[in-house]
Amino acid sequence: MASSDGEAVVELKIPGKPEYVGVARLAILGVASRMRFSYDEVEDIRLAVGEACTTAIERAASAQSPSPEVRVRCMIDPTRLVVEVTDNNVGSATPLEPTAAAESVLEERSLGGVLIRILMDDVQISQESDTAPHVVRMTKYVAGAAR
């Protein structure tokens, strides 16, 4: 766990296949439960990380990636939890950011991205180039902790 010396890191790598998203959710549940989050906040974090992993896996499927992997890196400190979900897929077949056409709530694809933005306090989605890994970086702050 985090100490005053700095942050603790928990990292997990899962095969980019649908049956492993549940494993990542269990791991994040373990991490978030040990921090000073409320029950609802822990559930929010679990859902957001699950959505990010799901998006990564859907990207792998649409890119027909031969050996997809998803890395979940949790950076824990007393004031916040930062989770980075990184995929190794080449290309960006399925953008997570809602496009203009996908903004309707009836558009199923954009829901994951919408959920992540609502559930977490700070979200950054980046990809340095078309062939670079896609990174979703999400932060949840511990209520009442000094930032």
Partner 1 sequence: MQLKVETRTPQEGAAVIGLEGEVDVYTSPRLKQEMVDLLNRGLVNLVVDLNAVKYLDSTGLGVLIGGLKRARERDGDLRLICDNMRILRIFEITGLTKIFDIDRSEADALAKLK
Q: Applying CB under 8 A, does 30 fall inside the site for partner 1?
A: no
Q: Applying CB under 8 A, does 22 fall inside the site for partner 1?
A: yes
Q: Which is nearer to partner 1, 111 or 132 (CB)?
A: 111
DSSP output for 34-91: TTT--HHHHHHHHHHHHHHHHHHHHHHHHTT-SS-EEEEEEEEETTEEEEEEEE--SS
Which of 14, 42, 47, 76 is close enough to bind partner 1 by CB under 8 A? 47
| Shortest separation between residue 119's beta carbon and partner 1, angstroms | 8
Other CB atoms within 10 A of residue 42 CB: 20
Q: How far is residue 65's CA from residue 56's CA, in Å, rounded to a whole number? A: 11
Contact positions toward partner 1, by CB under 8 A? 18-19, 21-22, 25, 40, 43, 46-47, 50-51, 54, 57-58, 105-106, 108-109, 111-112, 114-115, 118-119
